[in-house]
């Protein structure tokens, strides 16, 4: 890896904060899903519901959507890009990072570089 392509300290710090936020949200999701899944399974068992209306599986599907949105460990190769995590995502993607990048930058390129790249 070329040192000029590696992320700066500021980018690494920003990416650490993003990771910690994502990790915290993932932990909170796990705590909530644990409790809700037990309750939903109990209701399904007591009421003898059919698979299409079973709450337990709906909880699991919702948890999976949250996992895909968070994309907690989706940073493969980010250390090889001087823009870190933002260099590996697309602004506006249906992920937490894609939405965050869209809000912060209003596009894939940093504001200072955007005008020169066109």
DSSP-assigned letters across all residues of 43-58: HHHHHT--GGG-HHHH
Gap between the Cα atoms of 2 and 80, Å rounded:
8
Terminal CA-CA length for the chain = 26
Range of the domain at 95: 3-117
Instruction: Summarize the chain as % helix, strand, coil (round to 5).
Output: 70, 0, 30
pLDDT score for 99: 74
Q: Return the pLDDT at 24.
A: 95
Please report the pLDDT score of residue 105 as a whole number. Answer: 65
Q: 84, 103, 109, 86: which is closest to 9 by C-alpha? A: 84
- Kindly state the greatest CA–CA separation across the chain: 63
**49 vs 57: which has the higher pLDDT:** 57
Counting the structural domains of the chain, the total is 1
pTM of the model: 0.67
The pLDDT of residue 46: 92
Interval 81-93 mean pLDDT? 67
**In the predicted structure, residue 60 carries a pLDDT above the cut 80:** yes
């Amino acid at each position: 890896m070329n040192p000029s392509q590696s992320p700066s300290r500021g980018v690494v710090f920003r990416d650490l904060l993003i990771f910690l936020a994502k990790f915290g949200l993932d932990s909170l999701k796990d705590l909530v899903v644990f409790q809700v899944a037990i309750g939903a399974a109990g209701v399904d068992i007591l009421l003898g519901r059919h698979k299409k209306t079973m709450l337990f599986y709906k909880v699991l599907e919702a948890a999976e959507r949250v996992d895909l949105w968070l994309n907690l460990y989706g940073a493969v190769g980010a250390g090889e890009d001087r823009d870190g995590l933002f260099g590996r995502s697309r602004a506006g993607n249906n992920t937490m990072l894609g939405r965050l990048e869209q809000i912060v930058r209003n596009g894939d390129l940093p504001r200072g570089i955007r005008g020169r790249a066109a």
